[in-house]
Amino acid sequence: MPYPYYDNLSAAKKRIYRKSDAIVSIPVKDPGRIHPVVIKLRKSLADNKRSKVEKHSSEICRQVCEGLGTETLIVKISSKRPSSSTEELHSLYEWTEGETPVLTIWMKTAIKRQVVAFKSFIRTVLHELCHHLDYTYFDLEDSFHTEGFFKRESSLYKQIIPLELQKREPRKKKPSRKKNIKQKSKESEQVELF
């Protein structure tokens, strides 16, 4: 079932959309060789090391592209996301005829300036890489967000992310404010007794 914007496309664009929608996976050659780089990327992101995040993100993209026999791209990692009053820009894929494509990803949120969670970050890298592969590997004339596109993104994720990193981590529970208040009042009672 096409997304609602499909109805507004020209006949030529609809053909590209349907072609994209029919492609549901990306055949990564020997994805296990990328796992160590993904683990390094996770650590670099957690340590807030922008240059290492850029190095590891570039390496992941390079290995995927070379394994598919397609041109690689330049990966740039910037710090704080650009934003407006209503939204943040997470990433940008730029392609100009005759030039090496550039993928820019921002690793910190705009308002709180916190490093993005690993799963969100790597999904963003793979999302933009999928746009690149739509043009260079699948030879699509445009790169639409179709169900097939998101399935390709998921297929990349499942192949290159080690299983232990794919598992959901339990959310850390924040201490209840009520408990803290009660605990403080007990401590103050004890202090008053002595």
pTM: 0.80
pLDDT digits (tens, 9 = 90+) for 30-88: 999 999 999 999 999 999 999 999 999 999 999 999 999 999 999 998 776 656 666 66
**End-to-end distance of the chain based on CA atoms, in angstroms?**
72
Residue 135 backbone zone (phi > 0: left; psi -120 to 50: alpha; other: beta): alpha
Query: 76 - beta bridge partners?
Result: 104
